[in-house]
Amino acid sequence: MNITRNNVDALNAVITVEVSKADYAPQVSKALNHYLKNATIPGFRKGAVPMSLIQKQYGKTVLLEEVNKVLQENLNKYLQQEKLDILGNPLPKIAEDFNWDSEDYKFEFELGLTPTFDVDLSTIKGLTHYKIFADDNMLDEQVTRIRKQYGKMIAKDTVEAGDDIRGTFINEAKNIDSPAQITLDIFKDKATADKFIGKKAGDVVTLNTKGLFEDDHQLMDYLKVGHDDVHGLDVDVDFKIEEVTTSEPAELNQEFFDKLFGEGNVSSVEEIKAKVKEDAEKQFATQADQKFLNDVTESLLTNTKFDLPSEFLKKWIQSAGQEPLTPEQAEAEFAKSENGLRYQLIEGKVMQQNKLQITFEDLKAFTADMIRKQMAQFGQTNPTDADVDGIVARVLSNQEEVKRLSDQVMSEKMLNLFKEKVSATTKEVTYQDFIKESYGE
């Protein structure tokens, strides 16, 4: 067997595989002998069928199968030996004059080659790594929310701002009969909320659905209206008030502190705020890191220039799925996936240049830490090492979980590398300012 490669250009190559009779004849003979021993053909005893009949009935099929096996085995071996870094899989070139009646065959395959490029993280400029802090307003709001959450519900005669109102939205013509628990801040306009002020249980407030909420999709939640009907819905609905309640905030005393954080762990409002601040800023740090990771990714995609074997990849996409695609469909699919492919190549290059690897110990440690955090959320703050190790072993026995966790570990390693090597300005902001600067909201 003879295999040669012709590099068309830096991104495309053609491999020619020449298969002679000596390369496949022993396998064909062995397969035909197997048929000879096991074939059941009317008029002949099992094992007594003439080889000429076996050859006539199965010869062409066996030939195709065995030549293809030899071809694929040697092609794969060649790619490994030559250490060719390819995109997609080799695509066979169709030969119009191919003749299976010949004893020697020549096959050609197109290859898409991975582009050669480098990634220089030091060239990335102008990025900001946010450090988000919980300001006094946020801490005061959180304490107020916690006090209300653990407070006592009190029945009221009339509605005031901030009350909870239980009732039913009704419109017989639209078959709306939807029980709901509301507060007045759900409505888009203050004028709508003001209609409820001073009302009592048994009173009915008539509302128009057009612009009732900030988002029309909320009509689905409160009125149980179908998605196709919510956009621009313009009908009157009655809200029949059935109960008015308010929450009396929990008293800030030691009993409340112990209920929230365990006996003796907190003894003042300042200590509650300190714990809320600590927990909030841990979550904020995760969001800030994700924003930084996204920004570095975007910068790498913008500034790392290299060509792809685009035409080859479009042809490969046409035949890669379960159902073949038209050239137009493949073109659209390539356009959707190109950035993802580019970042996979960039990420792989970054890992290679910086020798980033995932060891089994890395995976175990990451999984154990994740499990301890999850157990802590359910009150199990001091699990034994044996308990955690047992859960880790079960999790890592699932290959899908291993893949998912490996991606998370590598993402963490990439983030730490970017923090170390990418020049960025650190900026301290409140959470509200972070949202505004990041997303314009």
Give DSSP secondary structure letters for 121-164: GGG--SEEEEEEE--HHHHHHHHHHHHHHTSEEEE-SB--TT-E
Say if residue 317 is in the same domain as residue 424. yes
Task: Tell me how far apart the alpha carbons of residues 36 and 55 are, in angstroms, rounded to a whole number.
Answer: 9
Residue 262 is encoded by which pair of tokens?
């365990």
> Are residues 90 and 32 part of one domain?
yes
Residue keyed to tokens 């109960």: 243
In this structure, the answer to whether residues 170 and 314 fall within a common structural domain is: no
pLDDT interval class at 216 (50, 70, 90): confident
295/425 Cα distance (integer angstroms) = 13
Q: What percent of the chain has pLDDT over 70?
A: 100
Distance of CA 209 to the CA centre of its chain: 36
Q: Is residue 198 part of a domain?
A: yes
- pLDDT category, 149, cuts 50, 70, 90? confident
Could you give the CA distance from residue 59 to residue 77 in angstroms, rounded to a whole number? 27
Per-residue pLDDT, averaged over 117-136, amounts to: 93
Sign of CA dihedral 214, 215, 216, 222: negative
Tokens of 212: 């009732």
pLDDT score of 440: 66
Alpha helices by DSSP H, listed for 262-326, are 269-303, 310-320
Residue 243 domain-assigned (yes or no): yes
With bands split at pLDDT 50, 70 and 90, how would you rate the model's confidence at 44?
confident
Residue environment code for 352-375, b if the CB has 16+ CB neighbours within 10 A, otherwise e = eeeebebeeebbbebbbeebbeeb
Q: Is the pLDDT of residue 441 over 60?
A: no
Q: Which of 357, 354, 384 is nearest to 371 (CA)?
A: 384
How confident is the model at residue 232, as a pLDDT? 79
The region of weakest confidence among 92-96, 196-200, 277-281 is 92-96
Q: Same structural domain for residues 101 and 234?
A: no
Tell me if 398 is assigned to some domain. Answer: yes
Please answer whether residues 438 and 139 qualify as being in contact, where contact means their C-beta atoms are separated by less than 8 angstroms. Answer: no
Q: How many domains does the chain have?
A: 3
Q: Which residue has the tokens 């300005």?
A: 425
Q: What share of the chain is helix, strand, coil (3-state, %, to 5)?
A: 50, 20, 30
Q: Which three-class secondary structure state does DSSP give residue 421? A: helix
Residue type, 441: E
The domain in which residue 327 lies consists of 269-439
Between the two ends of the chain, the Cα-to-Cα distance in Å is: 65
Write the CATH number for 160. Answer: 3.10.50.30
Calculate mean pLDDT across residues 22-37: 89
- Whole-angstrom distance, CA of residue 27 vs CA of residue 70: 9
Q: Considering only CA atoms, which of 400, 401, 381 is closest in space to residue 392? A: 401
CA 359 to chain CA mean position, Å = 23
pLDDT, one tens digit per residue, over 335-381 is 999 999 999 999 999 999 999 999 999 999 999 999 998 888 777 77
What's the pLDDT score for residue 87?
93
Question: Nearest Cα to 238, choosing from 156, 174, 158, 164?
Answer: 174
Tell me, what's the pLDDT at 37?
81
pLDDT in the model for residue 382? 83
Q: How far apart are CA 406 and CA 412, in angstroms?
A: 10
pLDDT of residue 252 exceeding 60: yes
- What average pLDDT does this structure show over 177-193? 93
Whether 353 is in a domain gets the answer yes
Structure tokens that stand for 34 in this block:
């197997």
Let me know if residue 121 belongs to a domain: no
- The pTM assigned to this predicted structure is 0.72
Axis crossing angle, helix 327-353 with helix 310-320, rounded to the nearest 10: 110
The mean pLDDT value for 297-308 works out to 93
Measured CA to CA, the distance from residue 190 to residue 172 in angstroms comes to 26
Q: d(Cα 238, Cα 167) in Å, to the nearest integer?
A: 10
Strand partners, 109: 15, 92
Query: What confidence score (pLDDT) does residue 233 get?
Result: 86
Instruction: Give the domain-ending residue among 113, 138, 172.
Output: 113
- The answer to whether residue 430 is domain-embedded is yes
- pLDDT exceeds 60 at position 262: yes
Contact 88, 313 (CB under 8 A): yes
Higher pLDDT, 230 or 73: 73
281 shares its domain with 222? no
pLDDT tens per residue across span 91-107: 999 888 888 888 899 99
Residue 247 pLDDT grade (very low, low, confident, very high; cuts 50, 70, 90): confident
Mean pLDDT rounded to a whole number for the chain: 91
Identify whether 427 is part of a domain.
Answer: yes
Q: What's the pLDDT score for residue 264?
A: 87
Tens digit of each residue's pLDDT (9 = 90 or more) over 373-406:
888 877 777 888 898 999 999 999 999 999 999 9
Percent of residues, the chain, with pLDDT higher than 90: 71
Q: Is the pLDDT of residue 14 over 80?
A: yes
Note whether 225 and 287 are same-domain residues: no
Clarify whether residues 413 and 304 are in a common domain.
Answer: yes
At residue 115, the pLDDT reads 95
